A and B are shown apart, each in its own frame.
Chain A
Amino acid sequence: MNGLVGRPVERVEGHAKVTGTARYPADDPVPGALHGFLVTSTVARGEVTDIDTSAALGHPGVVAVYTHREMPRLTVPPFPYPKGFIPLQGTAIHHAGQPVAIVLAETLEQAQEAASLVQVRYRSEPPRAVIDDAGQQPYLPPPFRDRPNEFTRGDASRALAQAEVRVEAHYSSPTRHHNPIEPHATTAHWDGDRLTLHETTQGVNVTRGVVATAFGLPADRIRVLAPYLGGGFGAKGPVWPHTIVNAAAARLARRPVRLVLSRAQMFTLTGHRAEFRQHLKIGATREGRLTAIVETTTAQLTTTEESIFNESDSTSTLYTCPNVHIRQEGVRLDIATSSYMRSPETTAHFGLETALDELSWVLGVDPLELRRRNHTDIDQETGLRIASKHLLDCYTTAADAFGWSRRNPAPGATRDGDEYIGWGMATEAHTFSAIPATASVTIGLDGKAVLRIATQDIGTGTRTIICQIGADALGVPITDVHAVIGDSALPNASLSAASATIASISGPVDRAARTARDTVVGLAVADRRSPLFGVPVSDVETRHGHLIHTRDQARRDTYRAVVSRAGKPVETTGSVPNVPGHSYGVVFAEVRVHARLGAVRVTRVVTAHDMGRVMNRRTARGQVLGGVTWGIGHALMEHTVYDRATARVVNPNLSTYLVPVCADVPSVETLFVDRPDPSSTALGARGFGETPITGVPAAIGNAVYHATGRRVRDLPITQDKLL
């Protein structure tokens, strides 16, 4: 033990990243690779009637142009391929931006220019781009991955009718896109019927499975590599059509092909947070105890896919409420399919946490006190006690740091110069998954350890935490361990998504490393050449690369000496299941609203979180800073705009799709309760990535209300809504 776990250890790959030596998937040199570029549909609904590729084929450097006429027939994979169809398999058009051809050329510029020369004719029909234009009643889609879209507990309509106090409101939010800085990229390299993919993915194994299904190949013929990722946020969790189309093109061309999506293409080819409506009715006692929640949501679906990704988990589980009825409905539009976006539960969470604020004003109860009154340690779905939940501590810690008790409750009452000042808060909560995984550890003759697992580091710090865990379990310096991840040939792990990574991989890494340690200790005490020969293994501890007799510290050996004497590396594996759960927290926000112009600035944020054990304070803080930044974008600016006549995205670039810049983000005070969860096999840690952000939009909206007395229920809160 070195006590590395829990410390703010610097990212082990930080130096490589900032010096540009880290190789992201599109950086891997693949000799002889062609550059692909997609030609995409300009119409949203209809069919391709003709494609003329002759001008493109005549462009210098062009090797091939493939359309549905040349492409092999492929099998549409199930989830996590949330698309429902593969492009270039027929003439039907389901959304603007759907690929209709792929151009392969010697250089990227040649491929791009040739793509603009492909002439496509369409027959088009009027598309439906937004929920308002759906022209259909929302419907209840079938269960998504065994989860029904309707959920009831108790008798919510009766309880609502009998409630002493009721709040009813409609909330809404627009389509939003993930926009990781690194664009989606794929390089396909066939060797016979073996395929290697250099892929920007949050799941090397998931990609392997989906691509294997599409091509009808055994999964073991495919290897997927994603050593680094320049941000995912869910956009790189599912597999998207460009990966499959590009691999098919590479097979036809008999050359490796690299395809990097343009920013604009990322607005139609890689998923998004669906446009969303939420109708909430809340019943409560005069003391503010929730008695009923009735919620109907409407999410954008498509004609080819009907998965609902904006789940209402918070509505059903966050507070104690005996009577709940939730319906997650959808309408089918002619735009690209939606998918998970960090954090999927945020969308509905915004309505819940805003409605509670509205209830607090109706009741005249402090919003924080209202949440305390509805706090529960009982799992609302199973009725069992939650093993570890320190949300009340989060409330107290963050409220003290923020100075919440000094709040003047009257809305519009605090002014400084031209600006109104408002304070708002919201609870944060998100589920996390736990997915079976296996890790291996190899201790080489040099005494250094290599930890292997087919997980990914999507920028959250996974690689560093693997090294911390491994180094602690072995009792070696962190510089003596090296993590190899992002390769489907490694021991099995799953998606870096659903906040599952730490919860899923920590136990296996720890187990594999402990087993390796025990093996090396066993070798030492059995080896006559070791100073520890004959010592009971229970009397040997490991520290800083040394094996040490606990009662006679002078008797010691080293990993390096033991393994090199043994003459062959020590290899072990570990696999430990874990259970899913929730991580919790709270966010307090201060805003300033310009009295004349309506501009909102977020000027102060304090958070506190309960995520079980904090594995690395630095990377955990990074998650919170990122989450708050996302939440500010969500609350105040992010918005994908569709042209309603054509269903094309009007702002498919970072100049017009606004995300927060540094000047929009204040300093954030990030506090952690940091108490290990006894039910977790991940060294007491829980999944956390998606919890911070969930409450931020509501906290900001609630602060805007406190500042101005104006309640904006339709996000984003742009200043025209406050004029």
Chain B
Amino acid sequence: MRPFGYVSAPDVATAVRVVSTEPNAKFLGGGTNLVDLMREGVERPDTLVDVTGLPLTAIEELPGGGVRIGALVRNARLAADPLIRSRYPVLSRALLSGASAQLRNVATVGGNLVQRTRCPYFYDHASACNKREPGAGCDAIGGVNRNHAVLGASEHCIATHPSDMAVALAALDAVVELESVRGTRRVPLLDLHRLPGETPHVETVLTADELITAVELPHLPVAAASHYRKVRDRASYAFALVSVAAALHVREGVVTDVRLALGGVAAKPWRAHQAERVLLGAEATEEVFLRAADAELAAATGLPDNTFKIELARRTIVATLQELLTDGSAA
């Protein structure tokens, strides 16, 4: 590992100031992704600004019924929080389906949101990767791409975003709060991550010196009946092939409210707006669920290794909605 400087930030102001003034500095959360990437030589920061001592660890109820989550809340604590479990079960389940207990104890909300792709070529210096080295090419496209994107990819990059938590947040209309020396701004979670286009190395709308300070969830009654389903190659401790975050409300057989997002399929957590449009006001039946899935996946394209994910996503959407329907929680 390359030698680097380390600063433990006492407050938010110091954290953002150091990162904006020191050349090539990065925020350090739980380190479960950043330190791995430094060991692999993919990330080569000169200075790490440890933000885990910042007072951004509260989970608070907001006046309008929403919830504000500090960016340094650890994944395990967020998953276990009673407010989250009762009002946004999809978020709790998404978190618990990610990584391992040890990692969740350390990983932070902020770090989870901007963790980087698991594309194996991104990690392998000897291969061409536009994300690691803009303009170098993309070895995944003609290579091994089982875990790669089927939606929103470009000819420059087909990587997926690996976070489970972010998929639930995408379904829940979350808003992210950012802080820098220039002040505070709020960005809808759905606008936080970018599709690769011609610049796959630019993954979010965050500037390099912007700190995620909080995530806010709106008051969202439909989320009380919500579920996260993660499909993967072993029972636990694996990234999603496909995942579905869904919240569903049905009255007299008709969908009155719905939120749907997909994971493992794109460079960002994928909100399934097309599917939601089909579902809203329609009968809650398997046929409608299928039609909704097809509408969302009409634009999907696959490569030799990952075409199956389109069918798998279709089936997972239906299975997740069916589950919410049949376990009675959607009524």
Tell me the A residues contacting B by CB distance below 8 Å. Answer: 42, 96, 109, 112-113, 116, 418, 596-597, 599, 601, 636-637, 641, 643-646, 648, 650-651, 655-656, 658, 660-664, 718-720, 723
Contact A718 B312 (CB under 8 A): no
Known: A597-B315, A597-B319. A661 touches B139 (CB 8 A): no
List residues of chain A with CB within 8 A of the CB of B126.
42, 96, 646, 648
Partner of B144, one of A116, A596, A641, A662: A641
Residue of B nearest to A643 (CB): B143
B144/A643 in contact, CB under 8 A:
yes
Looking at A109, A112, A599, the one whose CB has the most chain B CB atoms below 10 A away is A599
- Residue pair A661, B144 in contact (C-beta under 8 Å): no
> Which residues of A sit under 8 angstroms from B2, Cβ to Cβ?
113
CB contacts (< 8 Å) of A650 on chain B: these are 120-121, 124, 143-144
B90 within 8 A of A: no
Q: Is the CB of A723 within 8 A of B311?
A: yes
Q: What's the minimum C-beta distance from B324 to chain A, rounded to whole angstroms?
A: 14
* Least distance between A120 CB and chain B CB atoms (Å): 10
Among the stretches B14-22, B105-113, B230-238, B262-270, the one at the interface with A is B230-238
The residue of chain B having its C-beta at the shortest distance from the C-beta of A665 within the complex is B235
Give the complex CA separation of A116 and B316 in angstroms: 43
Q: Which 4 A-B pairs have the closest CB atoms?
A: A42-B126, A663-B235, A720-B308, A663-B236
A42 vs B126: C-alpha distance when bound (angstroms) = 6
Q: Find out whether the CB atom of A596 lies under 8 angstroms from the CB atom of B318.
A: yes
Is B219 close to A, CB under 8 A?
Answer: no
Between-chain CB contacts (< 8 Å), 26 pairs: A96-B126, A112-B1, A113-B1, A116-B41, A418-B319, A597-B231, A599-B231, A601-B235, A636-B233, A643-B139, A643-B143, A645-B139, A645-B143, A648-B127, A650-B121, A650-B144, A651-B120, A660-B234, A663-B234, A663-B236, A663-B237, A664-B236, A719-B233, A719-B241, A719-B312, A723-B311
Binding site for A on B (CB under 8 A): 1-3, 41, 118, 120-121, 124-127, 139, 142-144, 146, 231, 233-238, 241, 308, 311-312, 315-316, 318-319
Contacting residues, chain B, for A656 (C-beta < 8 A): 118, 120
Report the bound CA distance from A643 to B308 in whole Å.
Answer: 20
The answer to whether B231 touches A719 (Cβ under 8 A) is yes
- For the complex formed, measure the closest distance between the CB of A319 and the CB atoms of chain B, giving whole angstroms: 33
Cα distance A596–B312 in the bound complex, in angstroms = 9
- Chain A residues near B139 (CB-CB < 8 A): 643, 645-646
Given contacts A42-B126, A643-B139, A660-B234, A655 and B319 within 8 Å (CB-CB): no
A655–B117 alpha-carbon span in the complex (Å): 13
CA–CA, A661 and B120, complex, Å: 21
With a CB–CB cut-off of 8 A, which chain A residues contact B241?
Answer: 719
* Shortest Cβ gap from A299 to chain B (Å): 22
**B1 contacts A109, C-beta separation under 8 Å:** yes
Residues of B within 8 A of A723 (CB): 308, 311-312, 315
Q: Which of B41, B234, B308, B315 contacts A636 (CB 8 A)?
A: B234
B237 touches which of A641, A648, A661 (Cβ 8 Å): A661
- Chain A residues, CB < 8 A from B120: 650-651, 656
Contacts beyond the supplied A596-B319, A663-B235: 16 A-B pairs with Cβ under 8 Å:
A116-B41, A601-B235, A641-B144, A643-B127, A643-B144, A645-B142, A648-B127, A650-B124, A656-B118, A658-B233, A658-B238, A661-B234, A661-B237, A664-B235, A719-B233, A720-B312
Q: Which residue of chain A has its CB nearest to the CB of B123?
A: A653
* Contact A597-B118, Cβ < 8 Å, known A643-B144, A661-B236: no
Q: Is the CB of B233 within 8 A of A637?
A: yes
The CA-CA distance from A645 to B121 in the complex, in Å, is: 13
| C-alpha spacing A636/B238, complex, angstroms | 14
Q: List the B residue with the shortest CB-CB distance to A109.
A: B1
| Contact residues in B for A662 (Cβ distance below 8 Å) | 236
- List B contacts of A646 (CB < 8 A): 126-127, 139
Residues on B with C-beta less than 8 A from A645 are: 139, 142-143
* Nearest CB in chain B to that of A662: its residue: B236
Contacting residues, chain B, for A636 (C-beta < 8 A): 233-234
Q: Inside 8 A of A660's CB, which chain B residues have their CB?
A: 234
B316 touches A597 (CB 8 A): yes
Give the Cβ gap from A419 to chain B, nearest Cβ, in Å. 12
- A46 CB to closest chain B CB (Å) equals 13
Within the complex, what minimum Cβ distance (angstroms) separates B145 from chain A? 10
CB closest chain-B residue, reference A43: B126
Give the chain A neighbours of B1 by CB distance below 8 A.
109, 112-113
A655, B118: Cβ atoms closer than 8 Å? yes
User: In the complex, which residues of chain B have a beta carbon less than 8 angstroms from the beta carbon of A655?
Assistant: 118
Complex Cα distance A648/B41, Å? 18
Report how far A266 CA is from B312 CA in the complex, Å.
Answer: 33
In the complex formed, the residue of B with least CB distance to A723 is B311
| Cα(A418)–Cα(B236), bound, Å | 19
**Bound Cα distance A723, B313 (Å):** 11
Nearest Cβ in chain A — how far from B327, in angstroms?
Answer: 12
**Min CB–CB distance A708 → chain B (angstroms):** 15
Query: Contacts of B121 on A, CB cut-off 8 Å?
Result: 650
* Nearest chain B CB to A203 CB, angstrom units: 32
Residue of A nearest to B39 (CB): A112
Give the Cβ gap from B308 to chain A, nearest Cβ, in Å: 4
* B315, A596: Cβ atoms closer than 8 Å: yes
CB distance from B300 to the nearest CB of A (A): 15
Residues of A within 8 A of B236 (CB): 661-664
Chain B positions within 8 Å of A664 at CB level: 234-236
B37 → A minimal CB distance (Å): 12
Q: Which residues of B contact A643 (CB under 8 A)?
A: 127, 139, 143-144
Residues of A within 8 A of B308 (CB): 720, 723
- Most chain-B CB neighbours within 10 Å: which of A42, A96, A601, A656? A656
Q: Is the CB of A644 within 8 A of B143?
A: yes
List of A residues within 8 angstroms of B235 by Cβ: 601, 661, 663-664
Q: How far is the CA of A648 from the CA of B139 in the complex (A)?
A: 12
Taken together as a complex, chains A and B put the C-alpha atoms of A512 and B2 apart, in Å, by 55
Chain B nearest CB, measured from A122 CB (Å): 10
A643 CA to B126 CA, complexed, in Å: 12
B234 contacts which chain A residues (CB < 8 A)? 636-637, 658, 660-661, 663-664
CA–CA, A663 and B315, complex, Å = 23
| Chain A residue with Cβ nearest B145 | A650
B152 nearest CB across to chain A (Å): 21
Write out the residue numbers on chain A whose beta carbons fall within 8 Å of the beta carbon of B319. 418, 596-597
In the bound complex, CA of A660 to CA of B3 (Å): 36
Looking across the interface, which residue of chain B has its beta carbon closest to that of A651? B120
What is the chain B residue whose CB lies nearest that of A642? Answer: B144
